[in-house]
Structure 1
C-alpha cells in the first residue's frame, strides 16, 4: 500500500535534445546537453540575417503526481461512520489474549540422560 502511495505522488520530468531525427542527450534531473550546433550558430552573427532552419529541437516530458491525499472524515455519512466504528471494534476484539500463560508440558519431567550424547559424538555448538 505504501508503494502505491509513493508511486502515485511521484513527479518527474524527462528532457530530450534531438539533432535532426537523432537523440543526442536526455536527462532526468537537469537540462539535457546540446550537440553544439547552437554554439556554432551564435559564433557567426553576420549570418544571422539569413534565415536558416534550426536542426535541433528540445522536448520535455513532464508527469505530475497526485497532490491531494488528505482524507477527511467529515464527508462520510452516518452509515459509513457506523460501519467503520463497528469494524474497528470487532477487529480489535478479535485478538483477545489468554487469561494466563498455559504450558501443557509442565507436568511431565524430561527424560533421564544415560550418556552425554554430545560428548560421545563430539558435536558442540559454537
Structure 2
C-alpha cells in the first residue's frame, strides 16, 4: 500500500512540474456572452453557420448569428523559464566515495554459497535418563 501511495505522489509531482514548465494557449469564441467554441492549440471557429437569414427582421437584442455581439478571448499560460539547473561535477573524492559505496552496497547482498551447518558431523549427547521424569518436573 505504501508503494502505491509513493507511485501516486511521484506521478502527481511529475505532472505538476510538467504542467508548470509548459506553456499553452486556449482560444475562446463567445456569442451573446455564451461560449460557442473552445480550442486549446488552434484558433476557435466562428459562428458563421449560425447567421440568421437575411429576410428576417433585425432586432436590437443579441442573437447567436449577429457578428457585432460576438467576441474572441485568448487565454495564454506562460511556462516557467527560471528553473534551477543542476550541475554534477565528478572530482577524485566523489569518484572514490562512489566506488566504495557501490562496492559495499553490492557485497551487502551476497549470501552464503552453501548452507553450511557447523555441527553436522557431531552427534548429540546420549541421554541416559529422562531428566523431567527423574525430577518429576512437568510443564502444565
Structure 2 length as normaliser, TM-score? 0.44
Structure 1 length as normaliser, TM-score? 0.48
Larger radius of gyration: 2
